[in-house]
Amino acid sequence: MIDFHSHFLPGIDDGSENVSMSLSMLNAWSIQGIDTVVASPHFYATRNNPERFLRNREAAYNAVREAMSRYRPSNGGNWPDIMLGAEVYFFNGISRYEGLHDLCLEGTDLLLLEMPFTPWTSRMIDEVSIIASTTGIMPVAAHIERYLNQPKSLVNAFLDLDIYIQSNAEFFLERGTSRKALKMLKKGVVTFLGSDAHNMGSRSVNIGPALQVISKSLGQDFVDDLTARQYDIIEQFKSNYF
Ligand SMILES: [Fe+2]
């Protein structure tokens, strides 16, 4: 299983505060049996630029890698593989943004896109559609569960787009939303899962418990098939851009 959404790189956003916290988070993924973790620090075009972002991400990644080479996970297993990405916050004009490809998941055309938390408009949905159809980039919409209170017609239009959808582990773990989460996963609306982990406290690595809920309800075969599908999509969207 891939954790497609996380903030474990140290000191780059509101996620992990230092290398030691990053290692604890990676240890949690290892214990939870996660093979691959996508590092997706926040990217806000109003406050950052791709060049600076990539430079900072590389430095944070190198610091973590150096520490990973000196320690082993507490269960004696392996560290998960790391793929570098970004969680890019939507803005008007994003479909024409020059640096967008640089923010895709490394080596692919997949872009983890964070939709606005302000009221949605049909223009926003149209612009996501334009990204998918004209830029060669495939959006993966982050934590869809946070937008289900947006106007129903816009949510439906969004879900009808030819893009991928990610949901957070907590969607499956909260009593009030678990049933809905399982339904969306079973129907194939949701393809990627993420912990969206920021730390070892209130926003910790919780994808393992979510997988237990999914496996219990839909079966381990479903989880295995989903994992295979996730890797297939990454393979399918390998980029010629880089
Ligand atoms: Fe996030």
Residue 167's region, left for phi above 0, alpha for psi from -120 to 50, else beta, is beta
The pLDDT assigned to 65 comes to 98
Phi and psi of 169, rounded to 5°?
-55, -35
The pLDDT assigned to 183 comes to 98
What average pLDDT does the chain have?
97
Tens-place pLDDT, residues 91-132: 999 999 999 999 999 999 999 999 999 999 999 999 999 999
The pLDDT assigned to 240 comes to 75
Q: How far is the CA of 6 from the centre of ligand 1 (A)?
A: 6
153 within domain boundaries: yes
Q: CA-CA distance, 187 to 182, in Å (whole number)?
A: 8
Tens-place pLDDT, residues 175-218: 999 999 999 999 999 999 999 999 999 999 999 999 999 999 99
44 within domain boundaries: yes
Q: How far is the CA of 175 from the centre of ligand 1 (A)?
A: 21
Domain that holds residue 48: 2-236
242 within domain boundaries: no
223 within domain boundaries: yes
Q: What is the pTM of this model?
A: 0.97
CATH assignment of the domain containing 110: 3.20.20.140
Q: How far is the CA of 74 from the centre of ligand 1 (A)?
A: 26
The pLDDT assigned to 242 comes to 58
